């Protein structure tokens, strides 16, 4: 029996953190499952699931920590920082999403890994927006795209003069990119250049 | 993902929320929830003087978002 196969799940919210248990080594997974069995059995006996609840929480934390120590994840010792030159009421601000959002008629993202991006005009009607991404729970975003890509609210902020302008074009990426080199060297700088040439002075990026 | 994760990425500015994955700006059909998060993003854009990671204190399901937004706007 493959313990990783036992962790296959529907990818919905209740599994959002537990799914990272997959990153643990096999002997840790066996430890997890034997504890799970024990807590479930004792929970049933006493009709008290609080210990099981705490147990799952603890393992979620452990999986998170392990994930962050995994050298496969990109991390940096230093990074760029540019202070905002003037108040946002005088700035053109763009929106970027990694939620796999694209416009009907454009090529959908390849959910197996895709470093390309889509240009999303701000006046795109909601019903023409699509999502191609299977590594997060898209149920909320499919109901209301603003929870990953708040483009209607950005337009509102422009109307209220909180920002000078919501840029004409937003940038849609699909965040599952197991080999990010082409993103780092090619597509991300390309999107940034596009935004700069469009006079964008600040960006809000929603990650999923 | 927690604050340390974002610190390690050395991003210019990050807002960290404790919402289920897939809802970074908040719950669907809760525009005030989304407005609150977006307003925090804008404020961090304006206020940060160096790389900053800001965790938001809000709890999923337990906030009166209209009240939170009103209090944020009065600050």
What's residue A58's pLDDT?
87
A-B Cβ pairs (cutoff 8 Å, strict): 105
Where residue A69 falls among pLDDT bands split at 50, 70, 90?
Answer: low
Label residues A113-135 b or e (16+ Cβ within 10 Å = b): ebbbbbebebebeeeebbbbbeb
| ipTM given for this complex | 0.94
pTM of the predicted protein model: 0.77
Beta carbons of B34 and A87 less than 8 Å apart? no
Q: How far apart are CA B41 and CA A148, in angstroms?
A: 14
Where residue B6 falls among pLDDT bands split at 50, 70, 90?
Answer: confident
* Chain A residues near residue B35 by CB distance under 8 angstroms: 153, 156
Yes or no: say if B30 and B70 are a contact pair by the CB < 8 Å rule. Answer: no
Q: How far apart are CA A75 and CA B54, in angstroms?
A: 18
A139 in reach of chain B (CB within 8 A): yes
Mean pLDDT of A19-31: 87
Beta carbons of A144 and B29 less than 8 Å apart? yes
| Pairing outcome for strands A169-173 and A117-121 | antiparallel
């Amino acid at each position: 029996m493959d313990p990783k196969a036992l962790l296959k799940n529907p990818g919905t919210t209740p599994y959002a953190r537990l799914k990272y248990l997959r990153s643990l080594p096999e002997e840790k997974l066996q430890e997890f499952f034997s504890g799970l069995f024990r807590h479930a059995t004792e929970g049933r006996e006493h009709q008290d699931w609080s210990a099981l609840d705490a147990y799952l929480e603890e393992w979620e934390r452990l999986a998170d920590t392990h994930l962050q120590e995994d050298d496969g994840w990109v991390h940096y010792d230093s990074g760029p920082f540019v202070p905002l030159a003037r108040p946002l009421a005088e700035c053109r601000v763009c929106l970027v999403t990694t939620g796999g959002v694209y416009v009907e008629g454009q090529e959908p993202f390849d959910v197996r890994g895709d470093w390309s991006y889509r240009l999303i005009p701000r006046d795109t009607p909601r019903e023409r927006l699509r999502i191609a991404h299977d590594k997060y729970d898209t149920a909320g975003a499919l109901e209301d795209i603003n929870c990953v890509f708040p483009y209607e609210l950005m337009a509102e902020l422009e109307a209220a003069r909180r920002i000078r302008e919501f840029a004409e074009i937003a940038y849609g990426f699909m965040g599952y990119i197991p080999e990010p080199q082409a993103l780092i060297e090619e597509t991300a700088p390309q999107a940034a250049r596009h935004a700069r040439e469009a006079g964008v002075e600040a960006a809000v990026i929603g990650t999923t | 993902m927690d604050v340390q994760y974002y610190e390690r990425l050395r991003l210019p500015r990050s807002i960290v929320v404790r919402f289920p994955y897939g809802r970074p700006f908040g719950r669907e059909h809760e525009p005030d929830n989304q407005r609150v998060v977006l307003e925090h993003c804008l404020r961090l854009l304006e206020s940060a003087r160096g790389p900053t990671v800001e965790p938001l204190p809000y709890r999923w399901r337990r906030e009166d978002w209209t009240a939170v937004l009103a209090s944020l706007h009065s600050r």
